[in-house]
Amino acid sequence: MFGSECADLKLKQRVNGTDVRMNLGEVIIQQMEQSNLRMFHLHNILIPELATYYYSPSDRVLAQNQDQMRDYIRELIRIRRASMDVRKD
């Protein structure tokens, strides 16, 4: 999906209070793991409506890291669409 040009890419992520550069694959694995574990927090089990709110410090870090990954993927899609438009002309 991402191609070989993304193999050496490093994204900035916040881990244990410090900014760390991680490979895209590691970032995806970490985000999926943290998102899945978040759904098993007691407050999300007892009050499922709270699952859409990122209010604890760890939730806010997770949301920030997800936004950074999402922004990168959006930019990658934009670049690839632009290159496809150039090839059509």
Residues 6+ apart with CB under 8 A from 39: 51
pTM of the model: 0.76
Torsional sign, CA 19, 22, 24, 29: negative
Torsion of CA 2, 33, 63, 75, to 10 degrees: 0
pLDDT category of residue 6 using cuts at 50, 70 and 90: low
Place of tokens 């290159």: 83
For residue 1, the 8-state DSSP code is -
Domain that holds residue 73: 4-88
Tell me the per-residue pLDDT of 43-83, one tens digit each, with 9 for 90 and over: 889 999 988 888 888 899 999 999 999 998 898 889 888 88
